[in-house]
Structure 1
Amino acid sequence: MKPELMIVAGLLALSLSACGGGSDPKAAAQASAETKHADEASDSHEHAEGEAGHSEQTEVESTVIRTEIARRSGIGVAAVGAGTIADEHDVQGLLTPLEGRVARITARYPGPVRSLRANVGDRVSAGQTLATIDSNLSLTTYSIAAPISGVVLARNASVGEVAVEGMALFEIADLSSLWVDLHVFGEDATHLRPGLPVTVMRMGDDSGVETTLDRILPGTATASQSTVARASIKNADGLWRPGSAVRARVTVEQLPVELAVPLTALQRMDDSDVVFVREGERYSARPVKLGRRDARRVQVLSGLKAGEQVVIEQSFLIKADIEKAGASHEH
C-alpha cells in the first residue's frame, strides 16, 4: 500500500475510533474495503499508464503506409530466406585485344601511296580495299586489302608518301572480344584458379559484365611484380575499349547461410542495425544481429525468422517516416 493511502486509512480509523466506532465491526470492514478499493484503483491507473507508454514507444518504431502509396513510392518487399555470401576479391586490370586478332597491313612493293580508303576508328571487313600504291618495280598500281574484319586502330601513311617494302600502313583489330588482364598481389594470387566467376566493371561504375577466369599467366608483370589473371569479355557493341583500366570482383567461394537479406534492406537507428518488417500495412523496425557480408548481401544471425516480409527497396523512406513520427511525438 502506498504511503498516501496508508495515511487515508489511518485517518479513517481514527475518525471511527473517535466516534465510538472502534468496536463496530461493520464500520471497520467498510473502511478496509474502501482502502482496498483505493489501492486497486491506484494500481490499475499505474498499469494503464505503463501500457500507454509501451504503446507510444511501439508507435514511434513503426509506421503505417497504405499499399497504394507504398507501391507508388517504390517500396519493395521480399521474404527472408536462405542465401549465399561470397568471398570476393576486388582487383584492377587492363583491357587488351586478343592475341591473333590484331593485324598489321604492310606495303608489298615500294612506291608512292595513291589512295587511302580507311581512317582510324572505321570498321572494315575482311577483303575490303584499304589503300592503293603505284609499284616502282612493275609500274602498275596494286591494292592493299584488310586480312581480317575489325576496327582500324592506326593509319601510318599519307597520300603521296613513298611506301617502302614492309612499311606498316594500317593496324586493324577484331575487338568483338577482349582480354581482361587482372593484376593480383600477394596472397590473393594463391586463391585464384581458372573457372572462378568474375564481374568486370568500368572505373566508377558498380554494374558490370559476368565472365570467368580463363587462366593464370605463369610469369609476373615486370613493372608491378603482380600475378596476372586473365579473363575475356564480349564486346559486340564496341563500348569496351582496349587500354582502358577496369575494376573486377573475383568470387573465390560461396558460403551458404540460413538467413540473408540484401544490403539495401539495412538501415541504422539508435546505433543499431535494423530492417523493416511489413505486417499488413504496418512497417516495424526490427534490430538484427549480422554476420558475414559481400557486395550485395549480409547474413542475419538473429532478429528475423524465415518467411518474414522485409523491405529491400527504398528502406530509407520507412526510416524517415518513423523518425518523423518520433519527432512529432516528442513535441
Structure 2
Amino acid sequence: DLKKLPTEPATELSRFAVRSPFTGRIIKKDIVLGEVITNAKEIFVVADLTTVWIDLDLYRKDSDNVKKGQKVIITLPSHRQLPEAVIDYVAPLVDEKTRTTRARVIVNNEDEELRPGTFITAEIITKEIEAGVVIDRDILQEVGGQTCVFVQDEHGFEPRPVRLGGTNARKVEIIAGLSPGELVVVKNGFRLKAALETGIGSGCSTPGHVH
C-alpha cells in the first residue's frame, strides 16, 4: 500500500489506512506524527495471540528424556493449570551460554490469559507407571529419622513409616506401609509430629498415638 502513495491525490494523503495481513493485536508501534516512512520501515508489529508458543529451557541432564509428543502440565503465575498440552519441538542443539536445550509447546490462548514474556512452570511427563497408592509429597513427615505419614485409626492418629517409590514434583508413590483406603492426615501433619516428639515418643518406630 505504501507504493501507491505518490500516485494518490493530495487530498487522500491526510489519512491513509495501513492494513494488517491478519487479525491480531498491535504489540509494538514505531512511528510518530509527521514522520517520513518508506517501504522498509516497520511501523507496527501485529501478533495473533489466540495461539502462543511456550519455550521451555531444559538442563542437559534432562533433555535426553524429553521427546516430541510427551504430555506437559503448565501452571500459570495465578496457579491455574492449562488444559493438557504436548511437546511440539525439541531443539537439537545446546545453547553455548546457558547450556540448556529448548523445547516448545503450542497452546490455545483464545482468552489471551497468556501474554508474551510471561514466566510459567511446566512439568513434562516423561514416563507413566501404574501405582497402587499415591499421595501428595507434602503429606510426608520426617519423624525420628524416618519418613512417615499420620494414619487415622480408632485410637487417634498413628505415625506410620512408609517406603517411597516413584515421585514427581507433586506426588509420590507409596510402595510399603500404607494400604489403599486408609485415612491419612493431609494438612497440619507437622502439628501431630510436634505433639508426638514432645509428649509421646521419638519416632515412627516408637508405639504411640496422637489425640
Same amino acid, percent of matched pairs: 26
Q: Which runs of 5+ in 1 are unaligned?
A: 1-106, 111-134
| Residues in 2 aligned to 1:169 and 1:137: alpha-carbon distance in whole angstroms | 21
User: Which runs of structure 2 are paired with 1:82-161 in the superposition (5 Å)?
Assistant: 108-109=2-3, 135-138=5-8, 139=10, 140-141=12-13, 142-161=16-35
Question: Which consecutive residues of structure 2, in runs of 5 or more, have no partner in the other structure?
Answer: 202-211
Contact 1:290 1:299 in 2 (8 A): yes
Give the TM-score, by structure 1 length. 0.51
- Could you give the per-residue CA deviations for residues 61-90 of structure 1, whole angstroms, max 9, x where no partner exists? xxxxxxxxxxxxxxxxxxxxxxxxxxxxxx
Given the superposition, is the C-alpha separation of residues 207 and 315 from structure 1 closer, same or farther in structure 2, using an over 3 Å criterion?
Answer: farther
Question: Offset at 1:236?
Answer: 3.1
Q: Given residue 23 of structure 2, which amino acid in structure 1 is its aligned partner?
A: S
Query: Distance in 1 between the 2:176 and 2:92 partners?
Result: 46
Which is greater in Rg?
1
The residue matched to 2:112 in structure 1 has which SS? coil
SS of the equivalent of 1:243 reads coil
Corresponding residue SS for 2:68: coil
> What do the CA deviations read for 1:175-223 (whole angstroms, capped 9, x no partner)?
12211222334353332222111123457x8764341111224555465
Say if 1:273 and 1:287, in contact at 8 Å, map to a contact too. Answer: yes
Taking the TM superposition and a 5 Å limit, the aligned residue runs for 1:1-331 are 108-109=2-3, 135-138=5-8, 139=10, 140-141=12-13, 142-201=16-75, 208-209=81-82, 210-219=84-93, 221=95, 223-224=97-98, 226-280=100-154, 282-323=156-197, 325-326=199-200
> Residues 192, 322 of structure 1: CA spacing in aligned structure 2 closer, same or farther, 3 A cutoff?
same
TM-score of the superposed pair, with normalisation by structure 2 = 0.75
Q: What one-letter code is carried by the residue in structure 2 that aligns with 1:108?
A: L
Q: CA RMSD in A?
A: 3.0
**Aligned residues, how many?**
196
1:242-274 CA deviation, whole Å, 9 max, x = no partner? 234444221110122333322132112222221
Moved more, 180-189 or 157-166: 180-189
Alpha-carbon separation, structure 2, partners of 1:293 and 1:190: 19
Distance in 2, Cα, partners of 1:295 & 1:208: 14
